[in-house]
Amino acid sequence: MDASPPTSLFDPVLPYDSHWLAVPGGHELYVEQSGSPGGKALLLVHGGPGSAATAMQRRFFDPTRYRIVQFDQRGCGRSRSPQPLRHNHSAALMDDIERIRARLGIDRWLVCGGSWGATLAACYAAAHRGAVAGLLLRALFLSGRADLEWFFGGAGALYPDEWQRFLDRAPRGQRRRFRQWLWRVFAAADESRLADVAAAWRRWEAVLEGRPPPRDAPDRSVLLRYRVQAHYLAHACFLGERRVLAAIARLQGLPVLFVHGRRDLVCRPDNSWKAWSSLSGSRLLWVDDAGHAPFVPAMASAMREAAARWLLGEDFDGIGACRVAPWR
């Protein structure tokens, strides 16, 4: 995240409502609403897995015209559970979103997510199509082997020194199966080791996002974030690329806009290209001067434009600089 947010973002707004919602499996979800109670209903799905909803995420959207709903997924942020990883999988998260919608009395909403949030948003829409008016999906993650092999190895060709720094956290004999070693470390929950490995993982993530590596030691919230993320990635997010693309292919007829930074080294642009190619009638907006980070000026401007277009007629017609192949 940039230290100085771009001026294309709306001013910060505080929630007008926040509460916890009990869901099956012993979890309580933190839910908050901001913006205008009478505005267009909008669900923001945070990324990760393991991250949390933030005030910055809603600043793409006009708070005088949107009713903005955010929540922390199971085991994340302010949500509560004595066993954060238990009953924590993608199908449960999709059911949770429906419970939130029913509790808030919302008929249909625009669903927006970035990275893992885009994955979950798309799969939720395929499962509960009647509840979704449209989808705005930034930096799509497909959750399959190609994504994992890129992040945990392939991208090391671009930053070999930084990748080696991450890889060195594992014993020499475990480096050929580095991902499997990571999953075991976080499943064991040995906090003395978790802090070191989480710090290295967080640094590698920052390098690929083009951010300065964090200097502070990871606190318990960071450790939990990577425990949840490891839990999901060890199981291909309980989805996998084929299931995600199949879900997206079932969205035909809904307004869907994919937005992707050309320089994204975390979730590669090819992900959104594959998704767009599988969904006739969808739109794909390339953002040339952006990578994975959502709040750089070029990406912030693109997201704000997309949100403004939706307010004109609940579609993304006329979105600027939308570069797609002429045969579509």
Task: Of 173, 151, 172, 171, give the one whose Cα is nearest residue 162.
Answer: 151
Catalytic residue list contains 115? yes
Catalytic residue list contains 62? no
CA 70 centroid distance within chain: 13
Phi-psi region of 109 (alpha: psi -120 to 50; beta: other; left: phi over 0): beta
Q: Which of 115, 143, 272, 301 is catalytic?
A: 115
Catalytic residue list contains 292? yes
Q: Which of 27, 46, 260, 292 is catalytic?
A: 292
Rounded to the nearest 10°, the torsion over CA 202, 203, 207, 211 is 80
Kindly report the number of other CB atoms within 10 A of residue 186's CB atom: 24
- Helix boundaries (H) for 84-236: 90-104, 116-127, 145-151, 160-167, 178-188, 191-209, 220-233
Q: How far is CA 116 from CA 109, 123, 241, 244, in A?
A: 19, 11, 12, 11
Which residues does residue 69 pair with via DSSP β-bridges, in sequence order? Answer: 33, 43
Q: Which of 79, 264, 282, 301 is catalytic?
A: 264
Positions marked active-site:
115, 264, 292
